[in-house]
Amino acid sequence: MIGNELDAADIHDPRVRAAYRRCRRINAAHGRTFFLATRLLAPDQRPPVHALYGFARHADDILDTLDPGLGMNVRAQRLQELFDRFFAGAALTDHPVLVAARHTARRYHINAELFEDFLASMRMDLTVTDYPNRDALNGYMRGSAEAIGLQVLPILGTVVPVAEAAPYAAALGRAFQLTNFIRDVDEDLTRNRVYLPADELAGDGVDRDLLMWCHRNRCTDNRVRNALAAQHAITRNTYRFAADGIAMLAPRSRPCVATALTLYSEILDRIEDDDFEVFSHRAAVGQARRLRVAGAGLIQAWLARNSAPVAYDPAEPGAA
């Protein structure tokens, strides 16, 4: 099947095809919900989306899943090497993830600043462990989540000028990451990180010491529960805003994005159903539910791809 996708994407060089295959395997292994949603994209759209996921995952692995004995200086050096190799346009014998990501960036004219912003946020994770307020957290997410939403937008296509759809694509990336921050607060504490605004937590009497108490005792203090509920409401509103942008996408891309939004936002449902007991287990959407939502999306995607949709063309007379 991957061969058919690469053919549809007009990717024929054997070395480049091997690079995209590597990214697809990474996506399938590490991003179950995301990978399931990509199956609703048209075949030619899947390889570049896998490439962008592979690039992001590769950077994340440098931060968190390499030998834990490696010091911050070594990790910082490896992130800088990743940055240098990506922007230097090294030969095709380079790391396969970089080969596929560079190929995608060139083909879809993805702004290089989005990759710079992403790697800048990754470097922040080496030294920044807390965010004093919402502005500081949003600054981090501009590179880590919003940049990815904007990278994917040219692949999805739009029926409006890209600049009009961009705020919604950025918001969806932000909503996904805010969901992770709430769900994974316990796991993040093991890496000495708190991705929740300290001043907003303090409004409910919560600080890092109380979060660590919850972490050690595997339970959620009522003050923490109230603080998480407030973060939950902010994230819900972010999803509502992002949902308004789905109609701006090319019709063939809408079922995929709508499915991803539905499944990821339902993680919030599970967290709420569990009464915010995020320190004792990790909230997840069940396999049966994922398959039902994806199945409905698959039908919608097939119908959209067979109705000759037209994406926005900036060269068309009268286009903004």
Give the pLDDT band (50/70/90) at residue 85: confident
**Rounded CA separation 245/149 (Å):** 12
Q: What is the mean pLDDT of residues 229-243?
A: 98
Give the pLDDT band (50/70/90) at residue 66: low
pLDDT > 90 fraction of the chain, expressed in percent and rounded = 70
pLDDT value of position 115: 92
HEC profile of 170-218: HHHHHHHHHHHHHHCHHHHHHCCCCCCEHHHHHCCCCCHHHHHHHHHHC
Token digits of residue 268: 């919030």
Q: Is the pLDDT of residue 79 over 90?
A: no
> For the chain, what is the mean pLDDT?
89
Phi, psi of 92 (to 5 degrees): -65, -5
278 or 302, greater pLDDT? 278
pLDDT value of position 36: 82
The one-letter code for the residue type at 178 is: L
**CATH placement of domain 128-310:** 1.10.600.10
Give whole-number Cα distances, 55 to 23, 66, 176, 180, 241, in Å. Answer: 8, 15, 18, 19, 27
Q: Is the pLDDT of residue 274 over 90?
A: yes
pLDDT value of position 89: 61
**Domain coordinates of the chain in residue numbers?**
1-110, 128-310
Question: Comparing 1-110 with 128-310, is the CATH topology the same?
Answer: yes
Give the pLDDT band (50/70/90) at residue 215: very high
pLDDT value of position 320: 34
Q: Is the pLDDT of residue 279 over 50?
A: yes
pLDDT value of position 69: 67
For the ranges 60-64, 96-100, 140-144, which has the lowest average pLDDT?
60-64
Q: What is the mean pLDDT of residues 154-159?
A: 97
pLDDT value of position 33: 74
Q: Residue with structure tokens 């003050």?
A: 223
Q: Is the pLDDT of residue 227 over 90?
A: yes
Q: Is the pLDDT of residue 169 over 70?
A: yes
Q: Is the pLDDT of residue 78 over 80?
A: yes
What are the pLDDT digits (tens) for 18-59? 999 999 999 999 887 788 888 899 999 999 999 999 999 988
**CATH placement of domain 1-110:** 1.10.600.10
pLDDT value of position 62: 84
Give whole-number Cα distances, 115 to 44, 112, 143, 289, 310, in Å. Answer: 22, 5, 8, 34, 28
For the ranges 152-156, 247-251, 304-308, which has the lowest average pLDDT?
304-308
Q: Is the pLDDT of residue 313 over 80?
A: no
CA dihedral 305, 310, 311, 313 (to 10 degrees): 150
pLDDT value of position 179: 97
Q: What is the mean pLDDT of residues 111-137?
A: 93
Give the pLDDT band (50/70/90) at residue 92: very low
